[in-house]
């Protein structure tokens, strides 16, 4: 199979030295790429510039911001015929549109150097869901999309609502690989693999999750 993996987290710049980011290290995507490469699949890893990279000699591309990730995804998906995408990147829901310093509004962005101020207000705008556009951008109309969902709640109902929100985009997403911050242990964490109207599969780690996806695809074929 020809497989695309996104990994790491986006940065949304306030100015040239400040940004909004997240805690994603890219470890999950790196492990996934190494595992799938070892199984003999053709793998492309699209990761954040600061992310942990695969040790195996897979094809690599990089991004930093939401816009760069979007552009790279569109380019790769339209130019190559991928069979499967693991969208493991932690993508910012918001972009910094402007910054208000002591009541005065300034443009935001990597090319800006903001002055110091006593009061700072960030104006954010919501960004589109990249995972929902993957099939539209893909040269392969039969591409399979696995979305990742990380929650932070001990409430099982809240977790399920978050997963269902993605699964209900059934035309855009085939599976959701879910885990929760409260269940992380050191550098290891399991996943629950969800598919619409199917029984949930518990997986010990990301490699087991990938194996479960591949096994189901082989059965479907």
Interval 61-81: pLDDT, tens: 999 999 999 999 999 999 999
Query: H helices within the chain, ranges in order?
Result: 27-38, 66-79, 134-137, 156-167, 206-220
Interval 171-219: pLDDT, tens: 899 999 998 888 776 666 889 999 988 889 999 999 999 999 999 998 8
Rg (C-alpha) for the chain, rounded Å, is 18
Quote the CA–CA distance of 201 and 142 in Å, as a whole number: 23
CATH assignment of 2-92+130-220, given 3.40.50.720, 3.40.50.1000, 3.40.50.10300, 3.30.420.40?
3.40.50.10300
What are the residue boundaries of the structural domains of the chain, listed by start? Answer: 2-92+130-220
pTM: 0.92
> Coil, strand or helix: which one is 24?
coil
């Amino acid at each position: 199979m020809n497989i695309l993996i996104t990994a790491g987290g986006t940065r949304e710049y306030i100015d040239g030295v400040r940004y909004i980011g997240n805690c994603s290290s890219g470890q999950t995507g790196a492990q996934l790429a190494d595992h799938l490469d070892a199984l003999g699949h053709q793998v492309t890893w699209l990761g954040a510039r600061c992310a942990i990279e695969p040790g195996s000699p897979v094809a690599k591309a990089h991004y930093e911001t939401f816009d760069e990730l979007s552009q790279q995804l569109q380019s790769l998906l339209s130019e190559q015929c991928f069979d499967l995408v693991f969208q493991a990147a932690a993508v910012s829901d918001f972009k910094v549109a402007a910054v208000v310093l002591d009541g005065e509004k300034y443009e935001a962005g990597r090319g800006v150097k903001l002055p110091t101020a006593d009061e700072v207000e960030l104006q954010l705008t919501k960004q589109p869901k990249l995972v929902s556009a993957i099939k539209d951008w893909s040269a392969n109309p039969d591409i399979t999309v696995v979305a990742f969902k990380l929650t932070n709640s001990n409430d099982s109902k809240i977790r399920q609502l978050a997963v269902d929100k993605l699964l209900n985009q059934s035309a855009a997403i085939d599976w959701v690989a879910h885990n929760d911050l409260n269940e992380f242990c050191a550098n290891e964490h399991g996943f629950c693999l969800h598919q619409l109207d199917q029984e949930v599969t518990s997986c010990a780690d990301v490699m087991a999750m990938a194996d479960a996806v591949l096994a189901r695809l082989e059965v479907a074929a």
